[in-house]
Structure 1
Amino acid sequence: MAKSKYEYVRQFEQSTNHHLLLDSYIVVRVDGQCFHRFAKEHNFLKPNDKRSYESIRITRDEIILSKHYHRIWTK
């Protein structure tokens, strides 16, 4: 994102305060860092393997359930 109009987003990604506020919305972005290696190790098919979406969905749901969060919307 260097030299783009969205570079300001980086300050939010690099936040050092990792506490979640009660009664507030939380947005989680799944980063693609090292995803190529992860996909290769799990033999994902290009361009979009349903198993990758399923693994992200399962992980998301487990986190939500373990912390008693409510899922509002996912894409």
Structure 2
Amino acid sequence: MGKAVSQDLRLRLVRGIAEGKSRRAVAAQFEVAPSTAVRVQARYAATGSVERRPVRGVLPGLANSARIVRPLSTK
């Protein structure tokens, strides 16, 4: 799995594409995979935002730890 792309870089990708450069050219300029530029642009076109998708399947800190630990204890 690759590294996360910063919000600033996502915004620069979208601006470069909006200026008329190809997605591949913008990706090469900022040294990211062409698929990254394609995904960022598609997300921007669909939602108007360059923010990351929410990460799914991760428990938020210790908030749910009691729910997990209690069923395991027998006392």
Q: TM-score range by the shorter chain?
A: under 0.3
* TM-score, length of structure 2 as denominator length: 0.22
Greater helix fraction, Structure 1 or Structure 2 = 2
Larger Rg: 2
Q: Relative contact order, CA 8 A, sep 6+: which one is greater? A: 2
